[in-house]
Amino acid sequence: MKAIVFGGTGMVGSEVLQLCLNTPEITQVVMVGRRRTSLSHPKLKAVEHQDFLDFAAIESELADADICYYCLGVYQWQVSQVMFWQITVGYFEALLVSLEKVNPDIRLCLFSAQGASPAEKSLMMFANAKGRAEAKLNASSLKGKYIFRPGFIAPGKVETKQTLSIRLFKPLYKLLPFIGINAPHLANVMVNTGLADGADKVLENGEMRKLSKLPLNSYL
């Protein structure tokens, strides 16, 4: 199988990428990013791509992929409101356009967020943006549509910036672990779900915590 990973350098995406590389069923992993990566692996192909509003240049890579793990994202306070919507929705919508054209049979795993509002009725901008991305996926003609809505995400082995949310929620997470999930556990659920090729679904934080206890490939 061939998997494509977007956001492979992020906290969750990097965990997904490593799992894909270590999974025998996945024989080729394509990581799409704007910059070169120092990561080297026999199964890894790094593709540099600059315009995330137009994926026509890499449609040959998209055309024969079996699974797409979309982990690209940004915290809303790190960029302007316009840029946040463009990254969260615009980039993803552009990818859907290319996938519908060249590979509608692909399974797409979307890294979303707890509280995402497809109806865009939330008071939180990030929830409405994530919800719109979910709505775009559900309205698409893609064969497999899997949405993951984690709560607080505790960093794994991959170092990440100590954002305000991490500093605030990490102590609370230790006391109340049900409010979130560890990044490696989330990645395990995402990779497993993509491999399983089951019915379309939306996985909330609680369900993912239960599924994360299952070993990789146990869904097959």
Mean predicted confidence (pLDDT) in 59-66: 98
Neighbours of 143 (CB within 10 A): 13
- Rounded to whole angstroms, the Cα distance separating 187 from 18 reads 9
**Is 218 within the bounds of a domain?**
no
* Residues ≥6 apart with Cβ < 8 Å to 191: 16, 19, 20, 23, 69, 216
Q: Which helix (H) or strand (E) holds 158?
A: none
Domain housing 118: 2-211
Q: Over 70: is that where the pLDDT of 215 sits?
A: no
pLDDT at residue 97, rounded to an integer:
98
**Is 83 within the bounds of a domain?**
yes
**Is 219 within the bounds of a domain?**
no
pLDDT at residue 127, rounded to an integer:
95
pLDDT at residue 178, rounded to an integer:
67
Instruction: Output 172 or 87, whichever has higher pLDDT.
Output: 87
**Is 217 within the bounds of a domain?**
no
Amino acid identity for residue 38 in this structure: S
Quick: pLDDT tens for 101-151: 999 999 999 999 999 999 999 999 999 999 999 999 999 999 999 999 999
- Per the structure, the count of domains in the chain is 1
Lowest mean pLDDT among 15-29, 32-46, 111-125, 129-143: 32-46
Backbone angles phi, psi at 60, to 5 degrees: -65, -30
- Rounded to whole angstroms, the Cα distance separating 7 from 200 reads 22
Using a pLDDT cut of 90, give the percent of the chain over it. 73
pLDDT at residue 39, rounded to an integer:
87
Rg (CA), the chain: 16
Contact in structure between 116 and 130 (CB atoms under 8 Å): yes
Backbone angles phi, psi at 48, to 5 degrees: -85, 130
Q: Over 70: is that where the pLDDT of 210 sits?
A: yes
The CATH number assigned to the domain holding 104 equals 3.40.50.720
**Is 21 within the bounds of a domain?**
yes
**Is 19 within the bounds of a domain?**
yes
**Is 216 within the bounds of a domain?**
no
Q: What is the mean pLDDT of the chain?
A: 89
